[in-house]
Amino acid sequence: MFKTGLLMAVLSIVFVSCKKDTPEPIDDTPSSGTVKLKFDHKWGMNWDAFAMNTEYTHPATGEAITFTTLKYYITNVKLKKADGTWWEQPESYHLVVAEGSTVPYVELPNVPVGSYTDIEYMIGVDSTRNVSGAQTGALSTSNGMFWSWTTGYIFVKAEGTSPVSPTNEFSYHIGGFKEENNTNATRINTQSFGGTLSVTGSNHPSVHFYINVARFWHGGISLADMNTVHMPGANARTLADNFKDAIIVHHIH
């Protein structure tokens, strides 16, 4: 009787040890993806190809203009879902730098899977970060976009040469975040994609912007009369308005 019981116990142990656990199904469906924002700089009414260190003639003023520097902040990026809700990128501070004839871009990681119809972003740096002292990444002072003589960031820096300028150069440092004295030069663009941007997690969707840099001198502004803007004020606000209108969503893919 003892032997029989012992045998049954051994067989029970062998049976249990040989029994395979059924694995739980793994859900490997992506929950998020990366969206790329491309900034394609153009020139003039025909949206011609644009490159740094190349002379262009302004279609309205007839002035010869050559860009040597063009960089600006795109921040506080939001994407609107098809259901009307918004996804907001955390720590959303990007510095776009035009170099040669290449198309610069920034990436938005961890965008939730879904369908998106609109984008909103700020051109410039919000008031909180303007008074937060030395920072890192896109907001590092090493990027040459921080005024040393006063607290605050340069939102858009455009520099170059022109024979019509009294100094043969132009230098636009557009900034100012304060509402007092009407000096706030931050600008917010909310733009439709004109379609649906699909984020699946396995695709690589992009938003392709066109930026018409000739619009700095929109509205009758002559480089001969305004070749330098280095502080907040009315001129900076005018240039900020013009640059805001220069950026359009051309297509998505």
The string of DSSP codes covering 187-244 is: EEEEEEEEEEEEE-SSS--EEEEEEEGGGGGTTS--TTT--EE-SSSHHHHHHHHHHH
Cβ-proximal residues to 231 (8 Å cutoff; 6+ apart), any chain: 173, 176
The pLDDT of 103-107, averaged and rounded, is 96
21-68 pLDDT, tens digit per residue, is: 666 666 567 899 999 999 999 999 999 999 999 999 999 999 999 999
pLDDT at residue 2 greater than cutoff 80: no
Residue 16, pLDDT score: 47
Q: What are the boundaries of each domain within the chain?
A: 32-252
- What's the whole-number average pLDDT of the chain? 90
In the numeric block, the tokens 């998106």 are attached to: 116
The pLDDT of 191-214, averaged and rounded, is 96
Residue 134, pLDDT score: 76
In the numeric block, the tokens 């501070």 are attached to: 93
Other CB atoms within a 10 A radius of the CB of residue 208 amount to 17
Residue 22, pLDDT score: 63
Residue 205, pLDDT score: 96
Residue 20, pLDDT score: 56
The pLDDT of 80-93, averaged and rounded, is 97
Residue 41, pLDDT score: 97
